[in-house]
Amino acid sequence: MSTGLTPRGVSILSDAIYNSQYLEELNISHNNISDSGVKHLASVINNSALKRIDLSENDISDEGAGYLAEMFQTNVKLVQLSLAENRIGNTGVKVLADALNHGNVALEVLNLSANTDINDDSIDTLVDMIKQNQSLKKLDLRHCDLTEDCERELQTVAKSRKKFQLWLSHVM
């Protein structure tokens, strides 16, 4: 359910999150914070105690994924991030994967489901992310625009990792 949160509201919320020692989970899904809201939020996450963030269905594009990727270069606290049902595409997946593969050792759960601009062009990036990022334990790619062949390849790679869970639309 939307709370009507906008980028301006996130700016105000970010001031409250900054240096918060007690807030570990933030769910602002189903709003319209867009990329500019993510920019505000990403700038304060490293100074907070946040471990889990749900930004599902917020009109976030590859640009917003870039702000989160910058944050991931130094963040070692965030263990769960949901970006489901946004407008993230192959470019956003690439910048997120690069950040997660080169520095971030904390993120365990990444939900990118229902980002329909993620397609088979991301296969190499996704394979590398599954292989290289050993802290990542769960990856949700359901309802993206991945073909069955692509999903089979991802499933094969995922099976090579102990205790790794990959959620896909076509392949179980």
pLDDT of residue 172 exceeding 60, the answer is no
Number of structural domains in the chain: 1
What pLDDT sits at residue 163? 94
Q: What is the mean pLDDT of residues 81-92?
A: 99
Tally the C-alpha atoms within 13 A of residue 24's C-alpha that lie toward its C-beta. 4
Q: Kindly state whether residue 49 falls inside one of the protein's structural domains.
A: yes
Which of the residue ranges 14-18, 79-83, 108-112 would you say has the lowest mean pLDDT?
Answer: 14-18
Residue matched to tokens 């907070």: 48
Q: Kindly state whether residue 138 falls inside one of the protein's structural domains.
A: yes
Q: Kindly state whether residue 30 falls inside one of the protein's structural domains.
A: yes
Tally the C-alpha atoms within 13 A of residue 72's C-alpha that lie toward its C-beta. 26
pLDDT of residue 116 exceeding 70, the answer is yes
pLDDT of residue 104 exceeding 80, the answer is no
Q: Kindly state whether residue 2 falls inside one of the protein's structural domains.
A: no
Q: Kindly state whether residue 60 falls inside one of the protein's structural domains.
A: yes
CATH of the domain at 80: 3.80.10.10
pLDDT of residue 40 exceeding 80, the answer is yes
Backbone angles phi, psi at 118, to 5 degrees: -85, 120
Q: Kindly state whether residue 97 falls inside one of the protein's structural domains.
A: yes
pLDDT band at 20 (very low <50, low <70, confident <90, very high): confident
What pLDDT sits at residue 156? 97
What pLDDT sits at residue 19? 77
Q: Kindly state whether residue 172 falls inside one of the protein's structural domains.
A: no
Q: pTM here?
A: 0.95
Owning domain of residue 16: 7-167
